[in-house]
Every structure is written in structure tokens, then in C-alpha cells.
Amino acid sequence: MLTYANNTQRWRLGAATLTLGLVGILITFLPLKAQAVPSFARQTGQNCVACHAGGQFPELTPYGRMFKLTGYTIGQRAMPLAVMGVAGVAKVANTTQTTATGTDPNVNFYKNNTPVFAVGSLFAAGKISDNVGAFTQITYDNYAVDNGDNTFSGHTQVDNIDLRYANHLVDGKKDWVYGISLNNNPSVSDPWNTAAAWMQYVPVASVTSHQFTDANTPFPGFASGGNVAGITAYGYWNKTLYAEAGLYRTADNAFRFMSGGIDQSGITRLNGTNPYWRLAYTREWGPNNLMVGATGMLAHVFDPASPDALGNPSDPSDSLAYNQYRNTGIDAQYQYILDPHTFTMQAAYMRSISDYSPYYIAANSPTSNTSNVFRAKASYIYQAKYGGSLAFFDQSGNFTDNPDTRGFTYEAFWMPKQNVRFGAQYTAYNIFNGAANNYDGLGRNASDNNTLYLYAWFAF
């Protein structure tokens, strides 16, 4: 009883501390007007709700998608800098049953019930010329480096980069947008939030108490990950058909800036050029818009963990040290936007087939594996202020270590200003790593990982 009381007091103290901090942030921003608007809004002269559905950044409206497709060039050049920050507190349902990483709850659930500043980002984004624009993000993670003694250090690195040339041709018979994107994350150039780079949208801290939050549940994704270097060409015809295709490679040498802040030995290495593609059909009628699409990528990713045939560490120059991943996905999104209501439904499925390198096969036996991830979400926002969402996630596959994970995330949020959002997410697991009960052999159940996450997210 004493332990329960102490935990309850700690939770109440943590929640109260976070609340006071969030109120302080809000009070700080209330007097601001033009200065509190992100760079794209300053450029276009529009409120955030023009580009973001119900004001829920980063989810885009049809206008926001057109702004992105035309290279971030709509409007007049303005001060291109903006900042974003997220603070939050996470409470894991059960910290007495430890995880496979050890037996110390202070390590396994570090900062549980404790408010933390999660991440902060600096954006340099906006119009460069009539046909050229940019979206660049540099992110500071306050808990990026585990010092091994229950302390963490912060680290800054390049996050997302999307540099574009675009043109928009309109007459009585056609509406044609085309362009080229130089970017560092497959699908970061995509204008829909069912894309792998954008479906996960609330950042969290890199601490163990946040390991089961919604941000760390299964999401469709490409094996290459981010901080690679690619160039894609795209076209959007009559607001109906969208197509994009490109090639990705390692972000080194002349492309080193796309993985800035990451040690050269730690960057994702791809063998040769790796193709990426995207197709989508869209339709708009009245306040409704619909998209159904498909996407895919073939990635050859370096495996540093498997020794070569002589037992030496793998070398990136050795073509036999690369695993091949075939990612294919389908997705759909429906939006209804008519003040004061905004309703969005999203669904995405990604299948990944892994063909392992000869070195991996020699050390681990399996020649290939398959992973399937399905994600669906419905959200509603009223008056661009009050909102909620329900998300379902499901991961399955035939890996040696069973990856099956399934559950729901419930969310409620409030946006008192267009650039400030307070939210609460509760993530509940039905299955984790292949089982509902005792999934790790140490007595831990999937429901022990259920997590309540409170956050404050601001951008100006």
C-alpha cells in the first residue's frame, strides 16, 4: 500500500508539474501574433488550418498538399525559420515486471511519471524562387545518448530534407503539377499522411519509459529508413492521378549533409541505387476528398552485425554484406473538411520481404523473412480546437523472434491556439512480441506495456 501511495503521489506531482509547465508555455505564446506563426503560414498569409486538417499539424488539407506539390512556393518570400518543441510525460501500466533488458525498473522505465522535454526542431523552410522551395528540419533529441549510468545526453542531427523544383500548368483543359525532389527519406516528399514518413506524427523522448507510447508502436515503413540520399520526379494530373519515382543511395560524400550529425560509421549504407515508387488516385467533391494509392521500394541495406566468411567485421565495400528488402504497400485516406467539422480516416498496409546476405545466413540460418504491418486511424476535430482519434495497429510475420504486436491508441487533444496542442494518448496492447501473456519468459504480459502519454506540442 505504501508503494502504491508513493507511486500515486509521484504521478500526481508529475502531472501537476507538467500542467503548470504547459500553462506557462501557453501564457508565453498567447500575446504573440505574426511571430507565433510557422514559416509557411507567414509566407502564404494563411492560418494553419488552411494547410493542416482542422489545424492538426502535420496532416495536410487539399490546399496544403498543393502547397507542397508546387514546391512550397505559393505566396511571398518571408522569414524562413521556425521552431517546434514537444514536452511530455509517460506512465507505463506495470513497472514491477521487468523486461528482458534487465531487472532494474529505473533502467527499464527511466523517467516514468516524470515530465521531460522530448525533442526540439529548427526548420528552414519556404520559397526560394518562383519554382524552387525547401523544407529542412534539424532536430535535437534531449535523450539521444545513453551514458550507461542512468544519465542521458542530448544530440542534434539532420532530420528531414525536401528540396524541390516544381511547376504548375493550368488552363481550361488541364491542371498539371510536376517537379523534382532532392530528399533524404523515402516518402517524405509524399503529400498524404498515410505515407511511411508522415503517419507517425507525435514525437516522444528516447527514454525507456516512452518505449511503449504510440510513436513506438508498429508503423508501415521502408527498410532503408531515413538519412539516405535520393532524387525523385513526380507529376500530378488534373488533381486525379499522382505518380512519383526515384532512386536512393548512401548519404555520404557530396550528399553527407543529408545525414549531418550522424557519425560516418553509423549512417545507413545502401548498395548502389535503390528504386522507390508511388502511385495514387485522388478525387475531390464538395468538402470531401479521397485518395487510394500504392507504394514500394527495393533496398539493399548494409548488415554490419554479420561477420564475413573469415570471421572479420563486414565491410561496406563488400557487396555480399548487404541484405535485400522488398517493401510494397497500399494505403487510403478520406477527409471531410467543412467548418466547424474535420473528419479523417486513414489506412496503410506494408509488406516487407527480407532476403538476407550470405554472411547473415551463415551466422543465423534463415534465408528470408516476411513482415506485415497494418495501421488504421480515424480522427475528428471540432472548430479546429477540440479533437480525438482512434488508431489500430497490427504487425505480424514469420521472424524467428515473433514480431506479432497488436493494439489500439486512444487520443484526445485541445488546440487553444493554432500553433499549440495539448494531448493525451493511451496505448493499449492486446499482443506484444507474439503473446498476450508472458511474452518474454519473465512473466511480463502485453497489457503491462499499456501507456498513458500526456504531451504539449508547439510550433512558431
Distance CA 99, CA 126 (A): 45
Q: Are strands 386-397 and 368-382 parallel, antiparallel or unpaired?
A: antiparallel
In this structure, is the dihedral angle defined by the CA atoms of residues 56, 58, 59 and 61, taken in order, positive or negative?
Answer: positive
Domain extent, residue 195, equals 2-459
State mean pLDDT over 278-305: 96
Q: What is the CATH number of the domain that holds 290?
A: 2.40.160
Higher pLDDT, 26 or 340: 340
What are the residues whose beta carbons fall under 8 Å from the beta carbon of 125, sequence distance 6 or more?
A: 39, 40, 72, 80, 82, 133, 134, 135, 136, 137
| Nearest alpha-carbon partner for 256 in 230, 229, 222, 224 | 229
Gap between the Cα atoms of 420 and 220, Å rounded: 27
Three cell numbers at 451? Answer: 501507456
CA angle (218 as vertex; 217, 219 as ends), nearest 5:
115
Burial 185-220 (b: 16+ CB within 10 A, else e): bbbbbbbbbbbbbbbbebbbbbbbbbbbbbbebbbb
Q: CA 413 to CA 214: how far, in whole Å?
A: 14
Q: Give the pLDDT score at 189.
A: 96
* pTM of the shown model: 0.86
> Quick check: 286 pLDDT over 80?
yes
Tell me how far apart the alpha carbons of residues 411 and 59 are, in angstroms, rounded to a whole number: 15
Q: How far apart are the C-alpha atoms of 326 and 134, rounded to whole Å?
A: 29
pLDDT above 60 (res 53): yes
Helix, strand, coil percentages, rounded to 5, for the chain: 20, 45, 35
In the prediction, which pLDDT does 400 show?
A: 62
Least confident among 29-43, 273-287, 309-323: 29-43
Tell the residue number behind the cell numbers 519556404, with chain if given: 126
**Mean pLDDT over the full length of the chain:** 87
57 pLDDT tier (thresholds 50, 70, 90): confident
- Count of structural domains, the chain: 1
Cell numbers representing residue 298 in the block: 527495393
**For position 51, what pLDDT does the model report?**
86
- Residue at grid coordinates 533502467: 107
Residue 165 has pLDDT above 90, yes or no: yes
Instruction: Please give the average per-residue pLDDT across 330-358, as a whole number.
Output: 95
pLDDT digits (tens, 9 = 90+) for 62-114: 999 999 999 999 988 887 899 999 999 999 999 987 655 556 677 789 899 99
pLDDT computed for residue 6 by the predictor: 41
Residue 5 pLDDT > 70: no
Banded pLDDT at 304 (limits 50, 70, 90): confident
How far, in Å, CA of 301 to CA of 309, rounded? 18
pLDDT above 70 coverage of the chain, percent: 89
